[in-house]
Amino acid sequence: MSADPAITPKLIAEHGLTPEEYERIQEIVGREPNFTELGIFSVMWSEHCSYKNTRALLKGFPVESPRVLVGAGEENAGILDIGDDLAISFKIESHNHPSAVDPFQGAATGVGGIIRDIFTMGARPVCAINSLRFGELDNSEVRRLFRGVVSGIAHYGNCFGIPTVAGEVYFDKSYEGNPLVNAFALGVLRHDQIARGAAKGVGNPVFYVGPATGRDGLAGAAFASQDLTEESAEQQRSAVQVGDPFMEKLCMEACLELLATGAVAGIQDMGAAGLTCSTCETAARGGTGIEIDLAKVPQRSPGMTPYEILLSESQERMLIIVTKGREEEVKRIFDKWDLPWAEIGFVTDSGQMVVKNHGEVVADLPASKLADDAPIYHREAKEPAYLAEVRRFTLASVEDVEDPTEALEKLLEWPSIASKNWVYRQYDHMVRANTMVNPGSDAAVIRIKADSVPGGDNRENFPEKLVALAVDCNATHVYLDPYEGSKAAVAECARNLACSGATPIGTTDNLNFGNPHNPELFWQLKEAVRGLAEGCIAFDAPVTGGNVSLYNQNPDGAIDPTPTVAMVGLVEEEQHVTTQWFKEDGDAVILLGAPVDSEDALQGLGGSAYLQVAHKIKSGQPPRCNLDTERTLGTTLLGLIQSDLVKSAHDCAEGGLAVALAECTFSELEARNTPSFLGAEIDLSAEEDFRLDALLFGESHGRVIITTSELDAVKAVERAKLLGVPAQRIGTVGGKQLKLKTPASEHAWEVAGLHDLWWNSIGNAMA
Amino acid sequence: MKFAVLQFPGSNCDQDCVHVLQNVFGFPTRLLWHKESALGDVDAVLVPGGFSYGDYLRTGSIARFSPVMQAVKEFADQGGLVLGICNGFQILCEAGLLPGALIRNRSLQFRCEHVYLKVATQDSPFTQAIPEGKLLRIPIAHGEGNYFCDATTLEELEAKDQILFQYADRDGDVTDHANPNGSLKNIAGICNTARNVAGMMPHPERAAERALNGDDGRLIFESLIAALNPAPATA
Amino acid sequence: MKAKVIITPKLEVLDPQGKTVQTALEHMGCTGVGEVRVGKYIEIEMDGDADTVKAKLSEYVDKFLANPNIEDYRLKLED
């Protein structure tokens, strides 16, 4: 065998393993591991693969409900029942570090990875959404990353043929140098099509499917588990994988066809830690062992070592365990799709992951211990010092606004609030002809029809389903109060779903945080998980899976703690599908929820976009999130929608009531360059107890703006009040201006003018 | 009446075309894998959108050499009706069944949005059922939809009334502002001189149901069906 | 024998990529930049001598590797 480097303490450290971890490895293996085996442990026990720093915390998440068919942590993605023998599989995942180095490929392969996780479960991926965060747009480097990430996502998703239907994009200085790219995908399948990633059946052959293995992404999993510095960025350029969406599309079609034959005993994608992870995880899940010979693995570069082949993260590869005797079907289907395949090994009963190279053993490790026995750490958590100052903040130093004209304009132009059309018009959001609500409203809604199911579904009168999706996180609020902010992220998602006519049924989360060895940052993580868990319990929307991305920081500091939440809901009937835009002149505008939280000393302004934009202040206790109130609001709103009383619904979030009202007046674009506007006259003159800036721009939770016909207005208000939700009519739709009457004054904005600022802000910055 | 929808490695909108023809209009429709060398008994062929062969080399450049395209060419030579949508339009141009070529959007970005189409002529099997003066509101989704041909070809297209659709604004004016990709003369769709083969960049199959925010696309399918004449199958 | 095919957009075709690259170079401080055309470069390893390869490939370049509607090409050979 060629001379492998000797195992030295330095080599162990370079592999991201501590001396204690190395000792543990020796105990598990019963001897000194060799270089290849060290590499295997290093990726399997990296944070990215093993969650060693967070596993203990994540146990706090609610993961059960009557709908759960495959739960969090069991397989690549969770699966929920949606009735009539149908199910959905979904998950969100990050690709932050690779996107910082190569934004296009990093983002593209992030999309590829999450799509694979979905079809590995036997589901046909039918839609994608994403959550992106960058530094401020006046920085040319930020613009480069933003441009690259969006075109990478577009390139992969569009070519693969999956509609990207919703998302969020935020810009904040804390993400400078550490962009966040969280990609979500959702797929559809029947209950009997659920596929598992377990190596079952001793003697079953193991197939490798997909393009040849190269040196891409070598040790990418370990790379994701480090802080990003100038040197690490340079070194890690070789760690970024290059994706091929066309190959992935072929791979998916072939895999789904193969799954339909029943010849597959187990299937797993080769994602993080490639061949290593897929072989040992399938063996661990199956309670079996696996033996492969690397000489049979198709290789792109000459002279690849076992270490390189095992750790490579070349994309679009799958590991398929086939029922013995059915090998011909695999070959037939993969030849049909012109996809490379190779039989590389077989399932054993030894419980060991045995890797040979040309017949010679190069690694022999116990699969379960490798996959499941990574150390679990309980990191130290300490409340961050900055919070003391945050809590001391009062509005005494902030002058109330007299004339909100400019403030509203500036907020609508602020990139985090401004229209994201520059982004989503690069994504095909209509392919598969199932998108009922396109990007731009509170939530996306897609329909599931017979051809959404793998292989199609022959049922007479196929029971079509309507799925709503939203992704949210106000990371500024989380930074200022991780627990409240995280609860609020869940509540906001649920509110967005309710606004579209849907009941939440499940959640997936992507926790993006800094270095877990920093007790203050770990505290943020701990508190965030606590908030998320409570939120998910309140809405009966268990976490079906998710992702943790740590070490998101550079020498300048860590990112704002960002627990991205994506939620999925079901709309019962097509007529319940609701969008946020005003619909008709003369409709009544009603505010559900208290205009300002009267128990909040900061009147909803803490951590608000308004304080940041108008006063350059990022401080103050963020608005409290009362989950009982939010739940009541959600069910009440849904009830009103299901009673056909509601014509439009939009929740209040960043920028508060005034921004939300403005957004309602910008009716959905009819076509290219053809906006239509429906103004409104709003009367808030009765709200004398609050500051004007709080009333208009405060971000108190639990508020939704709905419109009803004039005839239904009183009924809707009474119904809401009866159910315990404060409700009042605040105005009427009409004209081409947004007119606002406040206790002290009256203001009017031309909707076209506001729209212009809001619609073109990001496009202008990127020109 | 029977339809065939071609399927290449990388086609994404094949199922959407099948759905519209089969479920919305009620006609038997089958998918035809690119390796087939015979079309079988069909009355019209749809070449769907997507990224056949990943758009490698040039969009449509590899798909055009598939065995099935030879059969389509023979079908077209005998007067069979062929409609190419988006990637389908690109493939038909590469195959020489339509003149010109589709190049990259001048914005260099993929563009997905609804557009208004002016129907430049009702004299074709693809537009005959569209009421005079009706603007169609249909989505586009492409990165390479910029139609180009040389001056001589353009003269011929205009002289022989081969331009079917042009990007227009809400008032029906064919302006540069309404042009999403830089296409010559805002061309969104054309037909051949024999008027039996057409290609269009917008996706009518995505606008054939009310539920999907508009069904102007139906009119194109209705034209095709009317041209083929028989009564629709009962759903 | 190594065949090198250089493909560029025809002069009358608008080349927005080329224009973008030209503008970017200017912004970066590169003076004296004239027109920029962005095209494709393909390398093909072929058996045979120069004449054989040229004869064989020309047909494929014209029919497949380049689209004469919108592209010009040059074929070079190297040992």
Which residues in chain C touch residue B104, judged by CB atoms under 8 angstroms apart? 16-17
Q: How far is A452 from chain B (nearest CA, A)?
A: 9
C-beta of residue B153 within 8 angstroms of C-beta of residue B177? no
Query: Whole-structure pTM over 0.80, yes or no?
Result: yes
Q: pLDDT at position B230, please?
A: 53
Q: Are the beta carbons of C14 and B57 separated by less than 8 Å?
A: no
B19, B116, B170 member nearest A451 (Cβ): B19
* pLDDT score of A34 more than 90: yes
Going by C-beta distance under 8 Å and a sequence separation of 6 or more, which residues neighbour residue A703? A591, A592, A593, A594, A595, A651, A652, A657, A660
| CA-to-CA dists, residue A24 to A13, A28, A354, angstroms | 14, 6, 20
pLDDT band at A1 (very low <50, low <70, confident <90, very high): very low
Q: Are the beta carbons of B100 and C20 separated by less than 8 Å?
A: no
Question: Under an 8 Å CB criterion, which residues of B touch A?
Answer: 9-10, 12-13, 15-16, 18-20, 23, 49-51, 53-56, 109-116, 137, 139, 141, 143, 169-170, 177-178, 180, 203, 205-206, 208-209, 211-213
Write the DSSP assignment of A473-507 as a string of letters. Answer: --HHHHHH-HHHHHHHHHHHHHHHHHHTTEEEEEE
A338, A438, A671 member nearest B9 (Cβ): A338
Nearest Cα to B188, choosing from B129, B126, B96?
Answer: B126
A433, A438, A669 member nearest B205 (Cβ): A433
Return the partners of chain A (3 or more C-beta pairs < 8 Å): B
Q: How far is A667 from chain B (nearest CA, A)?
A: 14
Alpha-carbon distance of A737 to A560, in angstroms, equals: 37
Q: How far is C16 from chain B (nearest CA, A)?
A: 5
Q: What is the pLDDT of residues A86-107, one digit of tens each?
A: 999 999 999 999 999 999 999 9
* pLDDT score of B92 more than 50: yes
Q: What is the pLDDT of residues A578-621, one digit of tens each?
A: 999 999 999 999 999 999 999 999 999 999 999 999 999 999 99
Q: Hey, how many other C-beta atoms are within 10 angstroms of the C-beta on A393?
A: 21
Q: What is the pLDDT of residues B160-209, one digit of tens each?
A: 999 999 999 999 999 999 999 999 999 999 999 999 999 999 999 999 99
Tell me which of B8, B15, B16, B24 to substitute to probe the interface with A (most A C-beta atoms closer than 10 Å).
Answer: B15
Question: Under an 8 Å CB criterion, which residues of A touch B?
Answer: 151, 154-155, 158-161, 244-247, 249-250, 337-338, 424-433, 435-436, 438, 447, 449-451, 574, 669-674
A16: DSSP letter: T
Closest residue of B to C17, CA-based?
A: B108
**β partners of residue A738:** A680, A749
H or E stretch at A636: helix A627-642
**Sole residue written with tokens 């399938």:** A282
Burial of A577 from C-beta contacts in 10 A (0-12 / 13-18 / 19+): buried
Return the partners of chain B (3 or more C-beta pairs < 8 Å): A, C
What's the token pair of residue A143?
Answer: 């613009």
* pLDDT score of A226 more than 80: no
C-beta of residue A670 within 8 angstroms of C-beta of residue A619? no
Nearest Cα to B105, choosing from B113, B97, B95?
Answer: B113
C-beta of residue A444 within 8 angstroms of C-beta of residue A435? yes
Considering chain A, what is the average pLDDT of its residues? 94
Alpha-carbon distance of A612 to A596, in angstroms, equals: 19
Q: Are the beta carbons of A158 and B178 separated by less than 8 Å?
A: no
C-beta of residue A596 within 8 angstroms of C-beta of residue A690? yes
Which residues in chain C touch residue B57, judged by CB atoms under 8 angstroms apart? 40, 64-65
Vertex A507 angle, CA A506 and A508, to 5°: 140
A15, A95, A429, A576: the catalytic one is A95
| CA-to-CA dists, residue A572 to A130, A502, A704, angstroms | 25, 7, 21
From A426-435, A451-460, B226-235, C65-74, the region with the lowest mean pLDDT:
B226-235
Q: pLDDT at position A298, please?
A: 93
* pLDDT score of A239 more than 80: no
Q: Hey, how many other C-beta atoms are within 10 angstroms of the C-beta on B138?
A: 27
Percent of chain A residues past pLDDT 90, beyond the cut = 88
Q: pLDDT at position A215, please?
A: 83
Percent of chain A residues past pLDDT 70, beyond the cut = 97
Alpha-carbon distance of A314 to A216, in angstroms, equals: 5
Which residues in chain B touch residue A451, judged by CB atoms under 8 angstroms apart? 15, 18-19
Strand pairing of A164-171 and A124-134?
parallel
A48 is catalytic: yes
A428-446 CB burial, b ≥16 within 10 A, e <16 = bbbbbbbbbbbbbbbbbbb
- Supply the residues of B annotated as catalytic: 86, 203, 205
C12, C65, C67 member nearest B101 (Cβ): C67
Which residues in chain A touch residue B110, judged by CB atoms under 8 angstroms apart? 154-155, 158, 426-428
Q: pLDDT at position A418, please?
A: 98
Alpha-carbon distance of A463 to A266, in angstroms, equals: 29
Nearest Cα to A277, choosing from A84, A166, A120, A474?
Answer: A120
How many beta-carbon contacts under 8 Å exist across A and B? 111
Alpha-carbon distance of A209 to A267, in angstroms, equals: 11
B51, B178, B206 member nearest A673 (Cβ): B178
Q: pLDDT at position A301, please?
A: 83
Q: Are the beta carbons of C14 and B150 separated by less than 8 Å?
A: no
Residue B104 at interface with chain C, using a CB cutoff of 8 Å:
yes
* pLDDT score of A232 more than 80: no
Q: Are the beta carbons of B211 and A436 separated by less than 8 Å?
A: yes
**Sole residue written with tokens 């396109």:** A438
**Sole residue written with tokens 């085996």:** A37
The three-state secondary structure class of A458 is: coil
Q: pLDDT at position A234, please?
A: 53
Summarize the confidence of residues A508-519 as an average pLDDT: 95
CA A381 from centre of chain: 25
Summarize the confidence of residues A624-652 as an average pLDDT: 98
Q: Answer left, alpha or beta for residue B87, where phi above 0 means left and psi between -120 and 50 means alpha.
A: alpha
Write the DSSP assignment of A365-396 as a string of letters. Answer: EEHHHHHH------------THHHHHHH--GG
Summarize the confidence of residues A139-165 as an average pLDDT: 97
Q: Are the beta carbons of C69 and B61 separated by less than 8 Å?
A: no
The three-state secondary structure class of C36 is: coil
Which residues in chain C touch residue B107, judged by CB atoms under 8 angstroms apart? 16
C14, C69, C70 member nearest B106 (Cβ): C14
Alpha-carbon distance of A600 to A595, in angstroms, equals: 12
Q: pLDDT at position A527, please?
A: 97
Contact flag for C and A (3+ C-beta pairs < 8 Å): no
Tell me which of B104, B156, B183 to substitute to probe the interface with C (most C C-beta atoms closer than 10 Å).
Answer: B104
* pLDDT score of B28 more than 70: yes
Write the DSSP assignment of A50-106 as a string of letters. Answer: H-TTTHHHHTTS----TTEEE-TTTSSSEEEEEETTEEEEEEEEE-HHHHHH-HHHH
Going by C-beta distance under 8 Å and a sequence separation of 6 or more, which residues neighbour residue A228? A97, A100, A177, A178, A551, A553, A554
Partner C, chain B 144-163, Cβ-Cβ below 8 Å: 146, 148-150
Going by C-beta distance under 8 Å and a sequence separation of 6 or more, which residues neighbour residue A106? A95, A97, A98, A99, A100, A149, A152, A181, A240
Tell me which of B148, B154, B187 to substitute to probe the interface with C (most C C-beta atoms closer than 10 Å).
Answer: B148
Return the partners of chain C (3 or more C-beta pairs < 8 Å): B
Could you tell me which residue, A16 or B161, shows the higher pLDDT?
Answer: B161
**β partners of residue A357:** A360
C-beta of residue B206 within 8 angstroms of C-beta of residue B127? no
pLDDT band at A3 (very low <50, low <70, confident <90, very high): low
3-state SS, one letter per residue, for A217-279:
CCCHHHHCCCCCCHHHHHHHHHHCCCCCHHHHHHHHHHHHHHHHHCCEEEEEECCCCHHHHHH
Tell me which of C64, C65, C71 to substitute to probe the interface with B (most B C-beta atoms closer than 10 Å).
Answer: C64
Instruction: Count the residues in chain A.
Output: 767
CA A701 from centre of chain: 22
C-beta of residue A355 within 8 angstroms of C-beta of residue A36? yes
Q: How far is B24 from chain A (nearest CA, A)?
A: 12
Summarize the confidence of residues A288-305 as an average pLDDT: 92
Partner C, chain B 30-89, Cβ-Cβ below 8 Å: 57-58, 61, 65
Q: Hey, how many other C-beta atoms are within 10 angstroms of the C-beta on A388?
A: 9
C-beta of residue A713 within 8 angstroms of C-beta of residue A590? yes
CA-based end-to-end distance of chain C: 5
Going by C-beta distance under 8 Å and a sequence separation of 6 or more, which residues neighbour residue A53? A47, A377, A379, A516, A522, A550
Nearest Cα to B157, choosing from B122, B118, B195, B102?
Answer: B195
B193: DSSP letter: T
* pLDDT score of A432 more than 80: yes
Q: Are the beta carbons of A151 and B109 separated by less than 8 Å?
A: yes
Q: pLDDT at position A272, please?
A: 81
What's the token pair of residue A474?
Answer: 């106000």
